[in-house]
Amino acid sequence: MTRIVEILMYTLKPGSGLDFHRIMREVSVPLHLKAGMDVVSYGGSLHDDDSYHLIRSYESENHRQASQDLFYSSTDWKQGPRADIISRIEVSTTTVMTLTQEAIDAIRASHKSIQS
């Protein structure tokens, strides 16, 4: 079984990485989970606190689009962490691909072991 995986890579404004991660951990990721989105991994790069990733998984491309349309138009996002997150991002890139559930689970497990 394969799923759609979206990898967002952020270059953050200098010195904002630790605060960005706090906002992601305390506010944004919980909102993602509340909205039913599968957050596979998120966090700063091992080489640079101001480089960041967010990996999400979806059933299909249609599911990805519908989930994001709903999430990013929500009051929780707009009146919540949106401004704080966007103001810290210098460059954002997105890659969408298919991965097996096993590969997704391996990324999820790897992320948890790094965070521990």
Spell out the alpha helix ranges (H) of 24-100: 29-34, 61-72, 75-78, 82-86
Write down the pLDDT at residue 98: 98
pLDDT at 99 over 70: yes
Domain extents in the chain: 2-108
pLDDT at 113 over 90: no
Please state, rounded to an integer, the average pLDDT across all residues of the chain.
Answer: 94
Cα 81 to Cα 111: distance, rounded to the nearest angstrom:
23
**2-108, CATH topology level:** Alpha-Beta Plaits (3.30.70)
Instruction: Express each pLDDT in 37-73 by its tens digit.
Output: 999 999 999 999 899 999 999 999 999 999 999 999 9
Amino acid at the residue 74: S
Write down the pLDDT at residue 114: 47
Q: How confident is residue 74, by pLDDT bands cut at 50, 70 and 90?
A: very high
pTM here is: 0.92
